[in-house]
Chain A
Amino acid sequence: MFHKILVGVDGSEAGRRALERALDLSAHFNARTLVVSVEENLPAYAATVGEVQDEEGYEHAYFSEVQREVRRLAEARGLHAEMEVVPGHAAAALTRLAVERECDLIVVGHTGHSRLHHLFLGSTADRVVERAHCAVLVVR
């Protein structure tokens, strides 16, 4: 039913749950898996280029660890997962990559936020559902 599954992973517990569900689905449908992490915390309106580069280095190191864990979980299921780290806004980057890489399912985790946060900002999952061109699975 699904040929290529994109899953968003940010190192959080919700992201891990999404990854595990995506890997299970990939194994079930014999689908390819694209694991995407988004560097969201690069400073906008920086004072020096170095400030941006330093933050990028920090994010790079963080997501290298995340990728190691992704690889371990995929290999435990006998799967190979493609991995990418891209800068930008999570929802925009995930939905854009889903189109570019011809994915037919996006899997994201749901992180609990306060009512206030939800009212004003919504969640990445909300925005992925709004923007996606394909099916979206939000894992609680």
Chain B
Amino acid sequence: MESNVWLIAAAWMALALVASLISIRVGISVALIEILIGVVAGNFLGVHSTAWIDFLATFGAGLLTFLAGAEIDPESLRRHLKPAAAIGTVSFLVPFLCAAAFARWVGGWAPHAAWIAGISLSTTSVAVVYAVLLDTGLNRTELGKLILAACFITDFGTVLALGVLFANFNGWLLLFVVVTAVVLWQLPRLTRLVIARVGHRVSEPEVKFIFLVLFLLGGLAKLAQSEAVLPAYLVGLVIAGVFVRDRVLMDRMRTIAFTMLTPFYFLKAGLYVSLPAVAAGALLIVALLLVKVGSKLLGVWPLTRLFRFGRREGAYTTLLMSTGLTFGTISALFGLTNHIIDQTQYTILVTVVIASAVIPTLIAQRYFEPPRVEAVPKGDGPDVANTRPALES
């Protein structure tokens, strides 16, 4: 079994398939179910990773980050740049510093491990926020778009910190920065050119072109001891405008990611969560969750008032920005893979991240949900709705 690649692949794909079926049945994202199944597989079934699974998982994390960057609505970001930048930056910075300080001085973690804690718990899950906004119809309002734009800024802070904090400041980093800058500058034009000339053929040259860029920049990032998710997110951000006009390409990239790559990433993320460590670290888990939500409250809530959100909308926005999932687990797994944190610390961080996806969302929906936006009849017309922002006049 150990050397039989096919059987190992079959076992992992069986886990991924079970996760998909459960996800469809219970209406919870496949990512979260894959993590939970990974926890079961790691703790009770003795499943462990291999070198090729590690590669697929790493590529899955990179592609997930790329997709997250590419999902931004550039027009919406431009329109809300000032409040989104302010809220998003504070939403990253305050929890990052608070969680790192708590892990260092209260948890007694080593400095680098404390930075990983800060990064993992600074995140905001754009997808979790989007799903909640969709549920209330707020995704079509200016308030909803502002919240999403701010979440992108927060995530940008997270990937930037992950890419810079542990990098070696040497020639490789300089090379990485220069090549990345040039590639990002030319990438939208080149991607449009590839799509126009040879796009949408069966051999998928445009997908291969984007993979080539991700591999190349990821490789350079690795040489600089940086993290491949940083260029992946930036690549996604700069070609988001191309993807907005080419939904087919986006769909194909997502299909590739969710079929063959991200299951390996999320299962692996769950595999290293130790249940005994969850029980032993329960107090620290609760404390770190409170630090994450509390620090978001400290940073984001006053700003929502400054930008004249209503009290209810301010509390709702703050709680939604306290959610986390994808980047939180990516940061924690980066720390574990690079031996910056140990398995117990990894377990604590991933458990807090998962709890932060669920608990603030439930509180926001239960106690602070702003008035719902008029529902739109579907199927007979364009998707239009009242887009008046729910801000105080």
Whether B313 sits at the interface, judged by CB under 8 Å, is: no
Which B residue's beta carbon lies closest to that of A85? B378
**A39 to nearest B CB, angstroms?**
9
Instruction: Please classify how large the interface on chain A is, using the bins under 10, 10 to 19, 20 to 34, 35 or more.
Output: 20 to 34
Task: Give the interface segment out of A43-51, A110-118, A129-137.
Answer: A43-51
**Binary flags per residue of A24-54, CB closer than 8 Å to B gives 1, else 0:** 0000000000000000111111111111101
Which B99-130 residues have a C-beta within 8 angstroms of A? 125-128, 130
- In the complex with contacts A51-B29, A51-B30, A63-B379, A44-B131 CB distance below 8 A: yes
Whether B363 sits at the interface, judged by CB under 8 Å, is: no
**Binary flags per residue of A63-105, CB closer than 8 Å to B gives 1, else 0:** 1100100000000000000111111100000001100000000
Whether A20 sits at the interface, judged by CB under 8 Å, is: no
Whether B67 sits at the interface, judged by CB under 8 Å, is: yes
Is B379's CB under 8 angstroms from A67's CB? yes
**A33 to nearest B CB, angstroms?**
14
Whether B331 sits at the interface, judged by CB under 8 Å, is: no
Is A50's CB under 8 angstroms from B378's CB? no
Task: Give the interface SS of chain B, mostly helix, strand, loop or mixed.
Answer: helix
Whether B134 sits at the interface, judged by CB under 8 Å, is: yes
Is B128's CB under 8 angstroms from A45's CB? yes
**A69 to nearest B CB, angstroms?**
12
B-chain residues with CB within 8 Å of residue A97 when the two chains form the complex: 375
A-chain residues with CB within 8 Å of residue B246 when the two chains form the complex: none
Is A44's CB under 8 angstroms from B378's CB? no
**B43 to nearest A CB, angstroms?**
21
**Binary flags per residue of A55-69, CB closer than 8 Å to B gives 1, else 0:** 010001001100100
What's the tally of chain B residues with a CB closer than 8 Å to chain A? 37
Residue from A49, A60, A67, A83 within 8 A of B130 (CB atoms):
A49
B-chain residues with CB within 8 Å of residue A84 when the two chains form the complex: 375, 377-378
Bound together, the chains give a CA A97 to CA B374 distance in angstroms of 10
Is A42's CB under 8 angstroms from B134's CB? yes
Bound together, the chains give a CA A51 to CA B372 distance in angstroms of 23
A-chain residues with CB within 8 Å of residue B266 when the two chains form the complex: 47
Is B27's CB under 8 angstroms from A43's CB? yes
A-chain residues with CB within 8 Å of residue B378 when the two chains form the complex: 60, 63-64, 67, 84-85
Bound together, the chains give a CA A78 to CA B387 distance in angstroms of 35
Is B135's CB under 8 angstroms from A88's CB? yes
- In the complex with contacts A42-B134, A85-B379, A48-B127 CB distance below 8 A: yes
Is A44's CB under 8 angstroms from B254's CB? no
Whether B225 sits at the interface, judged by CB under 8 Å, is: no
Is A48's CB under 8 angstroms from B254's CB? yes
Bound together, the chains give a CA A84 to CA B372 distance in angstroms of 15
B-chain residues with CB within 8 Å of residue A44 when the two chains form the complex: 27-29, 128, 131, 361
Is B135's CB under 8 angstroms from A87's CB? yes
**Binary flags per residue of B371-386, CB closer than 8 Å to A gives 1, else 0:** 0100101110000000
6 residue pairs of the A-B complex, CB under 8 angstroms, read A43-B30, A44-B131, A47-B325, A49-B68, A82-B377, A83-B379
Extra contacts besides A45-B125, A60-B378 (7): CB < 8 Å: A44-B131, A48-B326, A49-B126, A50-B250, A51-B258, A84-B377, A85-B375
Residues on B facing A (Cβ under 8 Å): 23-24, 27-32, 64, 67-68, 71, 125-128, 130-131, 134-135, 137, 250-251, 254, 258, 262, 266, 325-326, 357-358, 361, 372, 375, 377-379
